[in-house]
Structure 1
Amino acid sequence: MLGHTSYQEMMILSYSEEDVKKLLGHLGSHPEDSEKWHLLGVVYLSLNMQEDAENAFQECLKLDENSALALGDLGALYIMRGKSKKAIKYLKKSLKINSNRHEYWLALGVAFLQRSKFKDAKTAFENCLAIQPEFYDALVSLGMTHIRLESWEDAAMMLSRADKIKPDNFEVLKPLARALMKLERTVELEQTYLRMMKLAPDDHTLHLYLGRIAFNNGKTKEALARYRKAIELNPEDFIGWQVLADALQSLGLNEEAEQARNRRKEIIERLRKEKGIFGPI
């Protein structure tokens, strides 16, 4: 029955203002139909009519204060509106009535993240995955939460699981790379950077990272090529010039190192003048 369907499930369908008219017509003669009030809220939300959706969900709850779907969808709506405290309140009520809705556990975790309650968010995402173990959004969210908690091993594990489900998402590979770097898993880190480069070939920072790995592995020629490519892609990056200068200096290429340092100084001085900064950058 449509009345027993949540907003998250209904979003795969398409609604129009005609659907709103039909539901309002039905509710005009059957105002006590709580399920249709919930459905009206879902339709409004799918049309991005958030205030109307909130009112419809509230009407449903006046008739049935234990409607887990209305409570959960109202909580999800409050996340969209940046009202995370209210979101947590309604999502908790929903999950107390029916704890098997994985999408509401996900939403609760997101609401906790908005309030920087990372341990609570972790628990919510874990509850979501206990119901739906391969739920991509929950794996990513839990991985990101572990990043915030600096639980690098767990972060790498969750983000790797997400990557296997939907490979080559730059926004997943980026935090995965951070976790691998913290864990000093250099081989996997290099492979991850190379995959990221295929997705963002003009990202100069990836060349800097790969250059550092090459340099640490004694591949100085490759490292210098990476560093030079990085500043070619972004010649205004004074950090890139500093990295290149340090590498050249360590290899005894003092004249080139001095040129790189001078270029760095020029950029910093210009930035100071442009931004009115007189201290160190």
Structure 2
Amino acid sequence: AQFKPNLPIEIKKHKGHWEFLKDQLGASQISENSYQVHYNLGMTYRNKGLFNESKREFDECLKLRTDDAHLYLALGEVCIFLGKLDDASKYLQHIYELDFESAQCANALGVVHCLGGDFNKAIEWFQKSLALQTNFAASLNNLGICKSIQKKVGEAIEYFKKAIATGNSDAGFNLGMYYVNEGNYENALKLFSGDTADEYFGKGLVFVEQSKDDEALEFFKKTVSLKPNHAGAYYNIGFIFTKLGKFKEG
């Protein structure tokens, strides 16, 4: 399943994470023993892509409460980002012991199995997610990914299209990449018609496949202007410069 964490932010300017919390949440007086403070800080770090810091705060929450399903969901998702799939599964399964169900939790368990290579089990969880919440965008996209891996192209395309209809941009990128691989550049460009980093990257790949190096280079440069640590864009920029014999620039 496709996860695209936000770029980490620069936190050196903050004296410590409590000052960071005040700055982020506008809290004038906070207690370091407050469950909600740790939880809010964990979510703030999570949304900034600082997953180790996020888990640290959620671990502090566990010292104060062990009955909050939303905390276990947050821990499970952060562990997925950190690649700790066994821990993620443990936290997510614990949610069901609390007699709590949600489409987001079922989707997260599907992601654990998908990343672990058990696509049939992943599909079961993604479908359970959709049973709990019809048109849950992430699960539709993830079903498209699983079906694509299983070479069930027709089903994959249908799931991607359903996810796109809900506004899921990852599904648009995934379907666009399918069209690129199939040589259907016209349909790919329709899906990469926006001005996000991923769409610029997709356009660059289309032009690379057509050996239109100047056009490709333009879009890869636009990609890194919006997402400075986009490894794929830098790789392709280097590839094009090397191909053109511009070794110093590459």
Q: TM-score, length-normalised on structure 1?
A: 0.53
Matched, 1:203 2:195: no
Counterpart Cα distance in 1 of 2:123 and 2:207? 33
SS in 2 for 1:27: coil
1:173 maps onto 2:176 in alignment: yes
**Aligned in 2, Cα 1:117/1:233: closer, same or farther, shift over 3 Å?**
same
Contact 1:88 1:108 in 2 (8 A): yes
Going from structure 1 to structure 2, the CA distance change for 1:41 and 1:125 (only over 3 Å counts) comes to same
Written as runs of structure 1 = structure 2, the 5 A alignment for 1:13-32 is 17-19=21-23, 26-28=30-32, 31=33
* Equivalent residues in 2 for 1:145-156, closer than 5 Å: 145-156=146-157
Structure showing greater radius of gyration is 1
1:161-198 superposed Cα distances (whole Å, 9 cap, x missing partner) = 123334892422333787xx8xxxxxxxx9x6532144
After the TM superposition, which residues 208-227 of structure 1 pair with which residues of structure 2 at under 5 Å, given as runs? none
Root-mean-square deviation (Å): 3.6
Question: Any unmatched runs of 5+ in structure 2?
Answer: 1-18, 193-202, 214-250
Query: Which amino acid is the alignment partner of residue 63 of structure 1?
Result: L
Q: CA deviation at 1:96?
A: 3.9
Q: Give unmatched runs, 5+ long, in structure 1.
A: 1-14, 182-189, 207-229, 235-281
Match of 1:212 in 2: none
Change (3 A) 1:170 1:44: closer
Distance 1:170 1:26, change over 3 A: closer
Deviation at 1:48, TM superposition (A): 4.0
Q: Which amino acid is the alignment partner of residue 173 of structure 1?
A: G
Name the count of aligned residue pairs: 183
Partners of 2:110 and 2:122 within 8 A in 1: yes
Deviation at 1:205, TM superposition (A): 8.4
Q: What's the offset of the Cα at 1:135?
A: 2.3
Does structure 1 retain, via aligned residues, the 8 Å contact 2:95–2:101?
no
Residues 106 and 24 from structure 1, CA distance in 2 versus in 1: closer, same or farther, beyond 3 angstroms?
A: farther
- Per-residue Cα deviation, 1:47-80 (whole angstroms, up to 9, x for no partner): 4443332222122222221211111101111111
Cα pair distance change 1:21/1:176, threshold 3 Å: closer
Structure 1 residues 47 and 196, CA, compared in 2 at 3 Å: closer, same or farther? closer
**Offset at 1:145?**
0.8
Assess, with a 3 A threshold, how the Cα gap between structure 1 residues 201 and 114 changes in structure 2: closer, same or farther.
closer
User: 1:46 Cα deviation (Å)?
Assistant: 3.2
Larger RCO (alpha carbons 8 Å, 6+ apart): 2
**What amino acid maps onto 2:86 in structure 1?**
K
CA distance in 2 between counterparts of 1:202 and 1:37 reads 42
Deviation at 1:202, TM superposition (A): 7.1
* 4+ aligned runs moved over 6 Å, structure 1: 20-24
**Given the superposition, is the C-alpha separation of residues 125 and 150 from structure 1 closer, same or farther in structure 2, using an over 3 Å criterion?**
same
Q: Which amino acid aligns with 1:34?
A: Y
Per mean C-alpha deviation after superposition, the further-off stretch among 65-74 and 107-116 is: 107-116
Counterpart position of 1:100: 101
Q: How does 1:15-54 map to 2 (within 5 A)?
A: 17-19=21-23, 26-28=30-32, 31=33, 33-54=34-55
